[in-house]
Amino acid sequence: MPITCPFRRLFRICLLAAAASLAGSAMAAPGERLDDRYCTTCHGADGRGNEAVQAPKLAGMASWYLRLQLENYRAGIRGAHPGDIEGLAMQPMAAGLTDESIEDILDWIGGWKVIPATPTISGDVAAGAALYRTCATCHGAAAEGSEALGAPALAGQNDWYMVTQLENFLAGARGAHPEDIRGAQMRTMTAVLGGEQDIRDVVAYINSLTARMVE
Ligand code: HEC
Ligand code: HEC
């Protein structure tokens, strides 16, 4: 693992760069009507997520959260930190979106079929359940999310994506921008996570909540 990981990450970054140029060619030239439907190039058919380029599942995502994140990327509030490799790839994908195209995208994504993500990581589910008690106050007992608290649903999301996000919050690569109020709230919460093992355990527990969605 320690040997293959960096290479695997490098490989994904190369793929991501290739996908970005592909999506870039689908984006409109200045003055043309913006074609905003290049998202599935990275996020996969039906927006089910694509681990090869580290793009998470979008299908089933609440529109209030989707809108906030697209606005944050567009404004450079998210995806601008040099340590946020995947965020840096997504940021230019949102940079050219108008308010109108964001609304169009929300409508479009709202019609996608929702397939809960397949687990790829393992951890100590019981230890994760204990850690998750803190998380539940915002994300909900079933990880269903809370619009009032700005906390997205976690159940059903790709586990590899959640691991990266927790690592990024912990490292200050996400949630450190002074205007990222919600991101900062989440960032302080990662204080309950001691490191990589805790991250895997809590995500393994979230996977068990995803499994309940499928039952
Ligand atoms: C070049 C590949 C690529 C394209 C094209 C792309 N994305 Fe992304 N997207 C990513 C990656 C990689 C991430 C993970 C970024 C991170 O870790 O912050 C991401 C993250 C996101 C997120 C954050 C999800 C969350 O749970 O917080 C949203 C929302 C999103 N993308 C929407 C879109 C939409 C809408 C489009 C089309 C307009 C699009 N993306 C096009 C690669 C892409
Ligand atoms: C105080 C409320 C609060 C608590 C407690 C909390 N979170 Fe969050 N979390 C948030 C908010 C708000 C966001 C959205 C941040 C943003 O807008 O960028 C978030 C985002 C996330 C994300 C990124 C999801 C995505 O789609 O990009 C993950 C993963 C996450 N939280 C996991 C956890 C875990 C695990 C815990 C417990 C250790 C936890 N959260 C505790 C409020 C909270």
Atom number in ligand 2 closest to CA 199: 35
Write down the pTM of the prediction.
Answer: 0.92
Instruction: Give yes or no for residue 211 CB within 6 A of ligand 2.
Output: no
125: CA distance to ligand 1 center in Å?
28
Topology of the domain comprising 4-110: Cytochrome Bc1 Complex; Chain D, domain 2 (1.10.760)
Who contacts 124 (Cβ-Cβ below 8 Å, separation ≥6)? Answer: 197, 200, 201, 204
Q: Is there a common fold for 4-110 and 125-214?
A: yes
Spell out the domain ranges in the chain. 4-110, 125-214
Question: Which residues touch 17 (CB under 8 Å, ≥6 apart)?
Answer: 89
pLDDT tier for residue 32 given thresholds of 50, 70 and 90: very low
- C-beta separation of 74 from 90 below 8 A: no
Q: Is the CB of 70 under 6 A from ligand 2?
A: no
Fold observed for domain 125-214:
Cytochrome Bc1 Complex; Chain D, domain 2 (1.10.760)
**Range in 38-52, 68-82, 132-146 with the lowest mean pLDDT:** 38-52
**Pocket flag, ligand 2, residue 162 (CB < 6 Å):** yes
Residue 193 makes CB contacts below 8 A (sequence gap 6+) with 131, 166, 170, 199, 202
CA of 152 to the centre of ligand 2 (A): 7
pLDDT above 70 as % of the chain: 86
